[in-house]
Each structure stands twice: as C-alpha cells, then as structure tokens.
C-alpha cells in the first residue's frame, strides 16, 4: 500500500497504459482521478472501482481542462501525464503546419501544462512525484512518425528540466519510456474498423513478440509497474531521469541479440 492516503491524477486514464496505472495506484491505496475524452471508458472504470477511482472529462488540448483536472482532488500528491495519441503520420517534408502544431500540443504542451498546474498543489503538500510518458521514439529513429517522435523527445528533456525547476519544492519528476506496448494507440492511428479490432490486436501482439529480445508483446501493466515505482517513495532518490521499459528493443540492431540474424563479423567468419 505504497500510496495509502495519497491522491493521484492520471491523464488518458480510460484505457491502455493510463487505465492499468490508475488501477495499480488504486490497488496500492491511492484515491485516483482520471481524465480522458473517452467518457464511456472513464465512467465504466470509475463505476467498477468501489469509489477509489473518479472520472472527469479532460481534453488535454484545452488548458482549462488540464487545470480543472489537477485541481479536482483538492490536494495532489502524484501525477502521471500519460494522455496522447499517434499524432500526424507525415514526414517532415510533407507535414502541414497545422498538423505539426496539433501533435506538439497533444503530446508535449499537455505535459508541460499538467506539470504547471500540478506543481503548486504538490508544493502545498510539501512535495510530490510526477511521471511523464515518453517513448523509445525519443531515443532513435524508425519507431514512430517524425512529429510524434520529436514531441516525445521533448517530453524526455522537459522531465529533466522540470526536475531541476521543482527540486526546491521536493517534487520529483521522471519519465517512463515504453517500447512496443499493445494498446489501442496502434489501431486508432491506423483507423482500424471496429469489427476488425480483435484481429488487428492479435496481429500487433504477434509482431511485437518478435520485435525485441523479450519474446512477448509489452502490456500496459508492464508500464504501470514502472510508473508506480517511480511515483512511490521506493524511488525517493530518483529524479530527472527516465526508465526504459521496452523488452530490450533499444539494445541495438537485431543482429546483436537474434542468433538467426548474424552480424557483419559473424558473416565474415563464415567466409573463412
């Protein structure tokens, strides 16, 4: 019960990583407020939580919605800035200014404002902890579209800057870096029809299982476990950094871990 007596906010809490984290925090004693534009999903989760989880509609593209969500608990101890989507898929030489701005607003500005409105409330409590969702796409190319990846890189650096700014208030700030986690972000980004969702998710899970050294798809609960650690007092000496939870996908090229894909030196040795 690491969060007994604490109040938490989770953005994007109606599904996927946000939902799993809200459940994890509630199971460990927190009273949780989730914000999302998915009213049906948010209300369903709150309605089955025995009063441990509360739902408030929040569009993180709207500053006042973010402020209202942070203020909803009255007092605030921990925050998980998680809301997001795939953003614009276009490459840098094709993207429109409007799509670029929309993606940055959704994925980066929303996190900045979440921190902005949460920090004064945490300072009044004598401190707190914040975790922001970045992505492996912040660490290299080839994982996601350009606008999304750039925003997630911004989240990574923002987390470090915020940790420095808020240390005087005893507020810790860190980022979590998920890898290939099977959530609806992929099917929504690809605009998969509702009747094909189950089949699409099966395909995604199958592909993910072979994409990294850990031979299974990542689950929202994997990220929830990491986030709950970073938000808890078990991580009291951890701030301004990030935790990569990616099944090893960023270890290196496939040749470095897949014996069926020999690298350059193995290929040269085979010629001898």
Q: Is 143 a catalytic residue?
A: no
The SS3 assignment for 168 reads helix
Q: Cβ of 163: how many Cβ atoms within 10 Å?
A: 19
- The backbone region for 173, taken as left when phi is positive above 0, alpha when psi lies in -120 to 50, beta otherwise, is beta
Q: Nearest 5 degrees, angle CA 235-CA 5-CA 19? A: 70
86 Cα distance to chain centroid: 12
Calpha distance 42→198 (Å, rounded)? 21
Q: In whole angstroms, how far apart are CA 160 and each of 53, 74, 104, 172, 238?
A: 29, 27, 18, 10, 11
Is-contact 171 238, C-beta < 8 A?
no
Catalytic residue, from 80, 148, 180, 186: name it: 148
Nearest Cα neighbor of 137 from 86, 197, 98, 96 is: 86
Residue identified by tokens 């979440």 is 114
- Helical spans, DSSP H, in the chain: 16-27, 39-47, 63-71, 97-104, 110-124, 146-166, 184-189, 197-209, 220-231, 264-271
Dig out the tokens for 95 from the structure: 């993207």
Q: Which residues are catalytic?
A: 148
């Amino acid at each position: 019960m690491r969060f007994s007596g604490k109040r938490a906010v989770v953005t994007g809490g109606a599904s996927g990583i946000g939902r799993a984290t809200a459940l994890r925090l509630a199971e460990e004693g927190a009273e949780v407020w989730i914000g999302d534009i998915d009213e049906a999903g948010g209300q369903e989760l709150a309605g089955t939580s025995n009063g441990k989880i509360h739902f408030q509609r929040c569009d993180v593209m709207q500053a006042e919605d973010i402020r209202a969500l942070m203020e909803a608990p009255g007092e605030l101890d921990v925050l998980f800035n998680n809301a997001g989507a795939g953003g614009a898929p276009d490459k840098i030489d094709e993207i429109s200014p409007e799509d670029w701005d929309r993606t940055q607003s959704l994925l980066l500005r929303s996190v900045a404002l979440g921190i902005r409105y949460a920090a004064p409330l945490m300072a009044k409590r004598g401190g707190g902890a914040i975790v922001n969702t970045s992505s492996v796409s912040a660490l290299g190319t080839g994982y996601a579209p350009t606008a999304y990846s750039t925003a997630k890189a911004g989240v990574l650096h923002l987390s470090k800057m915020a940790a420095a700014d808020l240390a005087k208030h005893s507020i810790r700030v860190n980022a979590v870096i998920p890898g290939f986690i099977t959530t609806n972000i992929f099917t929504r980004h690809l605009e998969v029809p509702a009747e094909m969702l189950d089949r699409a998710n099966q395909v995604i899970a199958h592909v993910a299982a072979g994409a990294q050294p850990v031979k299974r798809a990542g689950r929202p609960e994997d990220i929830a476990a990491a986030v709950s650690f970073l938000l808890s007092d078990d991580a009291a000496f951890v701030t301004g950094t990030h935790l990569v939870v990616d099944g090893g996908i960023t270890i290196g090229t496939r040749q470095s871990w897949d014996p069926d894909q020999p690298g350059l030196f193995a290929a040269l040795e085979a010629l001898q």
